[in-house]
Amino acid sequence: RLVSLGIGDVTLPLPPVVCQAMQKAVAEMGSEEGFRGYSPEGGYPFLKQANIDKYARWGVKLNEEEVYVSDGAKVELGSIYDVLDVRDVLIPCPTYPAYYDDAILAGANVHHVTGDEGCHFLPPPPEKTDTPYLIFLCSPLNPRGVAYDKNGLCEWVNFALKSGSLLVFDCAYEAYITDDRPHSIYEIEGASGCAVEISSFSKSAGFTGVRLGWTVWPKDLKDRHGISLLGLWRRRQSAKSNGVSYISQRAGEAALSQEGEKAVKKQVAYYGENARLLRDVLLRCDITYYGGIHSPYLWVSCKKWGGSWAFFHFLLQNAHIISTPGVGFGEAGEGFVRLSSFGRRQDVIWATEQIERVLRR
Ligand code: PLP
């Protein structure tokens, strides 16, 4: 038996309310009255409105034109380069690898801020504000499993405003926040003057295989030549995309309904309980770890086992568990592995027994 606590892919089936909405949408598409062709630019108003209502519950006011429905966060992270004239990109290290790879593909200079134990893996912005960067920041953080509080995000927004940087805030894991930490960057004053927000239904509603997300482009946001970024994005989308499937958008609307939100909470709580089981076994084995509270990931220290790859092999060969070597998220990830709590409960329980067997002294 081999259990994967590696890749961050969900395992629970889609909530019934979502499946019913998709089935209904399929039936509509097969009928003369219900058939739809191309989606309106930026997404159907019913899904945009459901998203706007969600932001309103966080105290954030958005307009329909500012919300762009996407087929997931990953594509959007790379597409941003189409509308920006970017020289310098600032990325925390370790980080979600797409930020780095997209920057390299775009030919940008990559600069890092290092998130180590000293700052609880939540790096603050640089002190000098003389370079305008394109900054990629996510919270809750992948791979480090921790989340910024309001003060931490205020520091980044102030830095972006002072340095003339554009902050791309990725909140793909916001559903995992369990206290009053911000879910959206727009909960921070000034953010609509310096930040784009990218998010996804993948890790909340389990849409990794459905493909659906959204991007927020505040209408007053300008590039350094004073050109509206929302206008440029509209142009880019019209040129390169014909939108997202009607069936996926109806699925997203269902996930944001009252019943959908309850189902999403239940799924997130299920993965949260998996994370608790993993946290508990690491505590019993006296192993240092971070995260696993506002996030589905645990960031596990393995320096005394000889580093990321040595511990990966140790777990694979002795406990039959697949982890992700931390160094795969950047040099500063050396000495850690990431454990994902997205597995099925019986697999996670089995994995905790294996960890206890091979690691408890
Ligand atoms: N952003 C982060 C931080 C992620 O970890 C992931 C996927 O693991 C994504 C974005 C991609 O999300 P999507 O499935 O919407 O493309």
Which candidate, 153, 175, 115, places its Cα nearest to that of 296?
Answer: 175
Band of residue 85 on the pLDDT scale cut at 50, 70, 90: confident
Q: Return the structure tokens found at 356.
A: 């206890």
Model pLDDT for residues 204-221, shown as the tens digit of each residue: 999 999 999 999 999 999
Handedness of CA 205, 209, 214, 215 (dihedral sign): positive
Q: What is the CA radius of gyration of the chain?
A: 21
Residue type, 262: K
Query: For residues 169 and 173, what is the distance between their CA atoms, to the nearest angstrom?
Result: 11
Cα 137 to middle of ligand 1, angstroms: 12
Query: For residues 358 and 298, what is the distance between their CA atoms, to the nearest angstrom?
Result: 18
Cα 226 to middle of ligand 1, angstroms: 30
Residue 319: the pLDDT is 97
Torsion of CA 57, 62, 67, 73, to 10 degrees: -50
Residue with tokens 């993948």: 202
Which candidate, 276, 273, 269, 358, places its Cα nearest to that of 321?
Answer: 358
Band of residue 320 on the pLDDT scale cut at 50, 70, 90: very high
Which candidate, 87, 114, 13, places its Cα nearest to that of 332?
Answer: 114
Residue 112: the pLDDT is 96
DSSP classification of residue 317: I
Neighbour tally for 138: CB within 10 Å? 24
Q: Which helix (H) or strand (E) holds 196?
A: strand 195-200
Ligand 1 environment, Cβ below 6 A? 8, 72-74, 96, 138, 142, 170, 172, 200, 202, 208, 213
70, 48 contact by CB (below 8 A)? no
Model pLDDT for residues 3-55, shown as the tens digit of each residue: 999 999 999 999 999 999 999 999 999 999 999 999 998 999 999 999 999 99
Model pLDDT for residues 298-316, shown as the tens digit of each residue: 999 999 999 999 999 999 9
Band of residue 116 on the pLDDT scale cut at 50, 70, 90: confident
Cα 214 to middle of ligand 1, angstroms: 12
DSSP classification of residue 225: T
Cα 172 to middle of ligand 1, angstroms: 6
Nearest atom in ligand 1 to 76's CA = 16
Q: What is the mean pLDDT of the chain?
A: 96
The reported pTM is 0.97
